[in-house]
Chains A and B, each alone.
Chain A
Amino acid sequence: MASSATAGGFSRVARSRAAVSARSERVLVRAAQGGDAAAVEALFRMHWPAAYRAAWFVVRDAQAAEDIAQEAFLAALAALDRFDRRRPLGPWLRTIVARRSIDALRARALRREVADDALAMAPAPERDDPCAGLDALAAVLAGLSDDQRTVVVLRHVLELTPGEIAQVTGLPRGTVNSRLRRGLDALEAWGRATREEAAR
C-alpha cells in the first residue's frame, strides 16, 4: 500500500506548521480559553488562511469558501471552553474544513446536473470565471478534476494524512492515494513543461 510518499519522487510532506510547535499552540489555546483576544487572533492567523484556501480550491467559490472557513473557526471558538488542550487544535479544525468543503462540492455537483438538464437553452450564466486572476499553479490546480483536486488540496494545503483523507471522504485508502498520485502527476507535468518552456 502506498505511503504518504507519492509517485514522481515527491518526498514526504513537510508540515508547514512544524515551525509552530504543538506546545505553542497549547499555550495559545489556554490563553484563548481565558478570554485572551490576542491569543484568539494568533490562532486565527495560524489556521484561518489554510482553511479558506483549502475550501476555495475544493469548491472554487469564494462565498462558499468564506462560509466554510468561518464556520470552522467559529465552531472552534465555541468549543474552546471544553477543548482538551492535550490534543492539537489544528487537525481538528482542518477536519471540519475538509468535511464541509466536500459536502459543498457534492451539493454543487448535484445542482449543475439539474441546471444543465433543465436549462439547456438558457442564456449563459453571467458570472465571472472563478479561476480568473489566479497565478499559474493555482489555475492548474483549480483545473484538475474534482476528485483529484480535492485530495491534493486536503493533502498539501490542509496537510491531512492519506488516512485522514480516507476517513473524511469515505474513500478507500488506495483510492485516495491513486487520485493523489494522478493529481500530482498532472501538476508535475505542468511544472516540467513550464521549466522547459522557460529554458528555451
Chain B
Amino acid sequence: MSGLGDGLRELRAPGEDEARRRAWETASAAVPPADTAARSRRRAVLATAAAVVAAAGISVAAVSPAGSAVTDWVGDAVRDVVQEDPPPRAAELGELPGGGRVLVLSGAPVAEPVPVHGSSWIAGDAGPERLLGAVREATWSPGGRFVAATRGSELIAVDLRGRRRWSASADGEVGGPRWSPDGFRVAYLVAGGRELRVLAGDGQDDRRLTTDVHPVAPAWRPNVVRHTLAFARERRVVVLDADTGAVAYRAPAPRKLTGLAFSPDGQRLLLAGRRELRILHARSYPGTKVRAGSIFARYFAPADNRYEQALWSRGGQRVAVVRRTGRRSEVILLDGRSPQTRPRRLFAAGELGELAFSPDGRWLLVDWRETGGWLFLPLDGGRARQIADVDQHFAGDGDTRLVGWCCPPSG
C-alpha cells in the first residue's frame, strides 16, 4: 500500500506549472535585501518595487506599497510590432481567427422613445445571426450561452437563437449589465447610476444593491468564493460582497472614469480613466503592507492624449489600450504583471473603436472605424487579418459596434 502513499504524494494539481511561475514572481519580489539594516526591518516589500524606466524619453512607473515614483508616459518610442507590410489577409465572419463568436450591436441610434442602438447580433461559424432588436447595450454570459441586453427600462436575457429567457423591468433606463463569472448573478445600473441592482442568473430576486453610483458598468471579480463586485462612486471605486453588501475596500479612482475590469485571475483591478489607467491590487498579502485597493501601477496619457479603450488579455498578462491624439489612434499593449516592461505598440491608424481578445488569447480584434472594417492582430507573430466593410454583414444597418468576443458555447 505504500504505492498509494507515493502516488498521493506525487499527485500534481491542475495549473500547477503556471501557478508556480506566478507564485515565484511574487515571492522573489518579497526577498528582503541582503544587508544588516534590511534584516532588522520586519516588513516585506511585495509586488513590483518602484521603478522608473527611462529610455528615449519613455517612462513607465510602477507603484509599490513602500513608495512610488510616478511619471508621465510619453509613448513616443514604444516598439512597433506590427509591420505595415505585408497587408492583412482577408478573413470571414464565419471563420474568425481564434474561433468563438463575436457579439455586436448594429444599427443607427434611434432617439425615440428612449435611445436605442439597434439590433444585437452574434457572428461565428454559422455566420451572422440577429438576436434581438431595439437594444442599447448587450453583454455575453460567462460561457457564451446567453446574452443580456438593455432596452429602455428592461433588461432582457436571450439565448443564442434569440429566444427570450427572462426579463426584468426597472424604474428607469437600464444600463451596464454584467454577468458574474459563475453565471449566478447579473448586475446592472438604473437611470444612469441612480441605482445599482443585482439579480440572479435566472432573472429572479432582483434587488437594489446601492444608490448614487457613477455611470460606469460594474465589474465582477473572477476566481473568488464570494460574489465580489466593483462599482464607482465619484472619484472612488468600491468593492463589496454583492450578496451581503459588506464592503471589502474603497480606493481613489482616476478622473473621468470610463471602465472597471478585474484581471481574469482576480488579482488586480483596472480603473480606466480618460487620462490615466490605474491598476490596483485586488487582494491583500498577509505579512506585507500590500492591501487590497493599493496601487499596483499607474499609466498617464501624455498631454493631448486620451485613453478610449482598455481591456485585459485572456490570461491577464497584458492590457490592450486604445490611445487617441486628435485624429490618430494607437493600439498599445501594456504588461499587466510587470509595469517596468516597456509597452508595445501594435497598430496605429485614424479612428479606432472597440477591442476584443480572441477566446484563445492569440488575436486582438480592433474595430477599425476609419475603414469600416475589423482588423485581427496576431499577438504571437504572423500576419494580420482583416474583414472589410463589416456593416454590410449585419443587414446593412450601419454603425456596427463590437461588444465582445466569446468562446463557442458548450453543449
Q: Are B26 and A70 in contact (CB under 8 A)?
A: yes
* A residues in contact with B15, CB < 8 Å: 62, 66
Q: Are A122 and B4 in contact (CB under 8 A)?
A: no
User: Of the candidates B9, B31, B46, which one forms a contact with A156 in the assembled complex, judged by CB atoms under 8 Å apart?
Assistant: B9
* A residues in contact with B22, CB < 8 Å: 66, 70
* A residues in contact with B33, CB < 8 Å: 35
Q: Are A70 and B27 in contact (CB under 8 A)?
A: yes
A80 at the interface (CB under 8 A from B): yes
A185 vs chain B, min Cβ distance (A): 11
* A residues in contact with B184, CB < 8 Å: 115, 119, 122, 125
**Interface of chain B, helix or strand or loop or mixed?**
loop
Q: Are A78 and B200 in contact (CB under 8 A)?
A: no
User: Of the candidates A33, A77, A121, which one forms a contact with B287 in the assembled complex, judged by CB atoms under 8 Å apart?
Assistant: A77
Asked whether A63 and B222 contact (CB < 8 A) given A74-B286, A127-B181, A133-B14, the answer is: yes
Q: Are B141 and A52 in contact (CB under 8 A)?
A: no
5-22 of chain A: CB within 8 A of chain B: 8-11, 13-14, 16
Q: Are B11 and A73 in contact (CB under 8 A)?
A: no
Q: Are B183 and A78 in contact (CB under 8 A)?
A: no
Q: Provide the bound-state CA to CA distance between A48 and B204, in Å.
A: 43
A126 at the interface (CB under 8 A from B): yes
Q: Are A137 and B11 in contact (CB under 8 A)?
A: yes
A154 vs chain B, min Cβ distance (A): 11
B50 vs chain A, min Cβ distance (A): 19
A187 at the interface (CB under 8 A from B): yes
Q: Are B286 and A65 in contact (CB under 8 A)?
A: no
Chain B: residues with Cβ within 8 Å of the partner, total of 66
Using an 8 Å CB-CB cutoff, how does the interface string of B1-28 with A read, 1 for contact, 0 for none? Answer: 1111101110111111001101110111
122-155 of chain A: CB within 8 A of chain B: 122-127, 130, 133-135, 137-138, 141, 152
161-186 of chain B: CB within 8 A of chain A: 165, 181-184
User: Which of A85-93, A103-111, A160-168, A169-177 interfaces with chain B?
Assistant: A103-111
Q: Provide the bound-state CA to CA distance between A62 and B286, in Å.
A: 19
* B residues in contact with A124, CB < 8 Å: 183
Determine the residue in chain B with the shortest Cβ distance to A69. Answer: B23
Total A-B residue contacts, Cβ distance less than 8 Å: 197
What band does the interface of chain A fall in when counting residues whose beta carbon is under 8 Å from B?
35 or more
B40 vs chain A, min Cβ distance (A): 8
143-177 of chain B: CB within 8 A of chain A: 143-146, 165
Q: Are B27 and A63 in contact (CB under 8 A)?
A: no
Q: Provide the bound-state CA to CA distance between A125 and B181, in Å.
A: 9
Q: Provide the bound-state CA to CA distance between A78 and B182, in Å.
A: 34
Interface centre among A33, A114, A123, A152, by most chain B C-beta atoms within 10 angstroms, is A123
Sample of 17 more A-B contacts, CB < 8 Å, known A49-B16, A123-B183: A11-B2, A34-B39, A35-B31, A44-B23, A52-B16, A61-B223, A70-B23, A71-B285, A81-B32, A107-B226, A119-B184, A125-B184, A135-B11, A137-B7, A138-B11, A187-B8, A188-B4
Q: What are the nearest 5 A-B pairs in CB distance?
A: A126-B143, A35-B34, A78-B287, A63-B223, A56-B13
Residues of A within 8 A of B (CB): 8-11, 13-14, 16, 32-37, 40-41, 44, 48-49, 52-53, 56-57, 61-67, 69-71, 73-75, 77-82, 104, 107-108, 111, 114-115, 118-119, 121-127, 130, 133-135, 137-138, 141, 152, 156-157, 159, 184, 187-188, 191
9 inter-chain pairs at a CB distance below 8 angstroms, sorted by A residue, are A10-B1, A35-B38, A53-B12, A62-B223, A63-B224, A74-B26, A107-B226, A118-B205, A122-B183
